[in-house]
Structure 1
Amino acid sequence: MILVTGATGKVGGHVLTRLREAGHQVRALSRDPDRADLPADVEVIAGSPAQVDSSAAALAGVDAAFVCLVGDVETQARGFAEAVRRVGGVRRLVLLSSSAVLHPVRHRIGDEHRAAEELIGAVAPHATLLRPGPFHTNSLWWAKSIREQGRVRCLVGNNPGAPLDPDDLAAVVVAALTSAEHARQRYELTGPEVLTSAEQVRTIAEVTGRELDFEVAAPAEVVAMFASITGDRPAAVTNVAALHSAQVPWGRTTDTIQRLLGRQPRTFRDWAAENAHLFK
């Protein structure tokens, strides 16, 4: 039995599908099982990683667990780590972290994922830590304005990044869940090419046959926007500073996916062409 948290998310959904296709028994931890609408052959436990009791119930009897934390990452990691301790450990554990932990500019996102790595590592020192950068699917943040206005106002700057297909990441997750050779490894994962935000928008324009305008929102404007949503201005300041920094750690490619999967990761253009309808 393999536990998947975040089973309806952009990564967890692919992990769930790949595990089921490979014939594995899957259990999911879901905040809202009814809305999750998972396949009938998936055992569903109601709860979240932050809830020790429900996480412990979900972990009982599993051989491996995929941990994907969203929202208050540190709080969720603390609860899940306590659940791992309560059940006496898990043979294989894969934590979806972030390359934000490698950023030289200290910021809230990186700090939370760093804390999660430490909390999970304390109870599962054999855990596999996955540190992806941005995903191809992040460009869906722009889909509404592209469809309705033919423009993108980018909130994360125009720094280079090597975006990754979530399904490529899911393939790595499944490999780590089903083989002991990935224990204690820390993998930095990227796509095959470095692109700025403007270059991603240009690619979307080409595959959709549309002319698109691109501009970068001023950092001060983005800070004000995030602070108004979260009520946490200090976190907004540090996160925006990191995103707009020229030192982003995801601004280069790695060969991790090719080494682990024996193939090149999927390009942004291929993903955009397949999903062009979402931008029309």
Structure 2
Amino acid sequence: MSRILVTGATGNAARHLPGKLLAAGHSVRVLVHRTPGTELDRRIETVAGDLTDAGSLPAALDGIDQVFLVTVGDGAAAFAKAAAAHPELRVLLLSSKAVVNTEFAGFDNPIYRKHLLAEQQLAELGVPLATLRPGGLASNALRWAPGIREHSRVQALFPELAAPLLDPDDLAAVAALILNAGVDAHRGATYTLTGPEVVTVADQVEILSAVLGRPLELVRLTEEEALTALARTQPPEFVRDYIPVQRRYLATTPAVHGTVAELLGRPARTFREWAYANAFRFG
């Protein structure tokens, strides 16, 4: 069994992964910014560090065989610098489907640039590498949870925006499969991951309404209202590019990829299945 470092384990994308790795018998270490609460299994080792600070990472990498790596603002520059002293490492990178979306060719924005940078930086590092490129996650709907709990209301700029949303548990299952086999067995592979069906924002609200058993109001925001709301929680560069990115998505036809089913031997979970499993998070 491997000693595996998981980054991003307290976020939506990787929260299910440590448990799956523990169940398979691996030793799991999680990189955290601060001492976590009770949400992590007591069998998990935690090490404080920051993926933007190479000097904070040696303790996290010490004795590690494999890494599940999320990207940060500079891609993976600090990680690559720290990992240069550990040529034995094998890395599974969480990138994004957006890096190969032709509709974004030449579109310089920080939302996607970090993923492209990370892929380039790790390729230059030369360690065994496999890459996951998911599209949008079903858990993105959790941003509506406060409005649903307090007002039974969802606010959205483009209710018609559509995507084949991926259940984060499926993402974790694919990551666990690769890490269980060993990244060496998947070296050089890139897997594009989506959910099994395209759903619009309006579809998601309708599904959540049915799952929660109460009507939900869907309110269309103006662009000015959307930008004002984003500015409360997001950095200026994200706010600047948000609407241009969404408009480009509106002009595309979302593609469903069958990679999850091919790798796991079962269908990918739908947004409705995700909603039933996470209904408690909406109050």
Q: TM-score, normalised by structure 1?
A: 0.89
Distance across 2 between alignment mates of 1:170 and 1:243: 26
Choose from 240, 243, 257 the match for 1:240. 243
Choose from 69, 85, 93 the match for 2:91. 93
Structure 2 counterparts to residues 123-134 of structure 1, below 5 A: 123-124=125-126, 126-134=128-136
Corresponding residue of 2:81: 82
Distance across 1 between alignment mates of 2:190 and 2:266: 19
Corresponding residue of 1:50: 52
Q: CA deviation at 1:264?
A: 0.6
Distance across 2 between alignment mates of 1:206 and 1:37: 28
1:6 aligns with 2:8: yes
> Using a 3 Å threshold, how does the CA distance of structure 1 residues 34 and 15 change in structure 2: closer, same or farther?
closer
Do 2:191 and 2:259's aligned partners in 1 also have CA atoms closer than 8 Å? yes
Distance across 2 between alignment mates of 1:250 and 1:80: 35
One-letter amino acid of the counterpart of residue 95, structure 2: S
Distance across 2 between alignment mates of 1:140 and 1:113: 23
Distance across 1 between alignment mates of 2:217 and 2:247: 20
Distance across 1 between alignment mates of 2:96 and 2:266: 22
Choose from 62, 65, 69 the match for 1:63. 65
Q: CA deviation at 1:63?
A: 1.5
Question: Deviation string for 1:202-245 (max 9, x for gaps)?
Answer: 1111122222221332334333443465552x542323211232
Do 2:162 and 2:250's aligned partners in 1 also have CA atoms closer than 8 Å? no
Question: Deviation string for 1:126-164 (max 9, x for gaps)?
Answer: 311111111111111112212222221114653110111
**How many residues are aligned here?**
275
Corresponding residue of 1:40: 42
> Using a 3 Å threshold, how does the CA distance of structure 1 residues 242 and 34 change in structure 2: closer, same or farther?
closer
Choose from 187, 203, 209 the match for 1:205. 209
Do 2:30 and 2:44's aligned partners in 1 also have CA atoms closer than 8 Å? yes
Q: CA deviation at 1:37?
A: 6.1
Distance across 2 between alignment mates of 1:11 and 1:54: 23
Distance across 1 between alignment mates of 2:40 and 2:238: 34
Q: CA deviation at 1:256?
A: 0.5
Aligned-residue Cα RMSD (Å) equals 2.3
Structure 2 counterparts to residues 114-193 of structure 1, below 5 A: 114-124=116-126, 126-155=128-157, 158-179=160-181, 180-193=184-197
Distance across 1 between alignment mates of 2:201 and 2:244: 17
Provide the secondary structure at the position in 1 that maps to 2:111: helix
1:258 aligns with 2:279: no
Distance across 1 between alignment mates of 2:252 and 2:17: 25
> Using a 3 Å threshold, how does the CA distance of structure 1 residues 74 and 146 change in structure 2: closer, same or farther?
closer
> Using a 3 Å threshold, how does the CA distance of structure 1 residues 40 and 80 change in structure 2: closer, same or farther?
same
Q: Which runs of 5+ in 1 are unaligned?
A: none
In terms of fraction of residues, the more helix-rich structure is: 1
Choose from 30, 33, 40 the match for 1:31. 33
Q: Which runs of 5+ in 2 are unaligned?
A: none
Do 2:74 and 2:117's aligned partners in 1 also have CA atoms closer than 8 Å? no
> Using a 3 Å threshold, how does the CA distance of structure 1 residues 182 and 247 change in structure 2: closer, same or farther?
farther
Percent identical across equivalent pairs? 36
One-letter amino acid of the counterpart of residue 70, structure 2: C
Q: TM-score, normalised by structure 2?
A: 0.88
Distance across 2 between alignment mates of 1:176 and 1:230: 33
